[in-house]
Amino acid sequence: MHDPDCLFCKIAQGQIPSRKVHEDDEFFAFHDIRPAAPIHFLIVPKHHVASMAQVTDQHAPMLGRMLTLAPRLALQEGCNPYPDGGFRLVVNTGSEGGQEVHHLHLHVLGGPRPWARG
């Protein structure tokens, strides 16, 4: 199921161009248009879920697969391996949580950040 008015549904269906990182039957991953790190991409489920606030127990297997996809894609996109390298996973939920597009998505951020302190 998709929402015909949802930006991320349109991107996942190829209706809006993006810099694709990965696509399979369940997920679409693409580079963020306003990256907050040298490596910054999003993983979105193709099935529309508005936010983490709408997640139920039935979504647990999908969330698990999304979380296990993230490290593989992070390495593929150039993140250095753990423990010296690494990446950050972020899910913003709702307007007060910083969510701008109301389609569940996982931000994957990595790469050298000289401005960040350890």
Is-catalytic flag, 105? yes
Residue 95's SS3 state is helix
Q: Which residue is catalytic, options 48, 102, 105, 107?
A: 105
Compute and round to an integer the Cα radius of gyration of the chain: 14
Burial of 45 (0-12, 13-18, 19+ CB in 10 A): buried
Q: What is the DSSP letter of 90?
A: E
The pairing of strands 39-45 and 87-90 is: unpaired
Residues classed as catalytic: 105
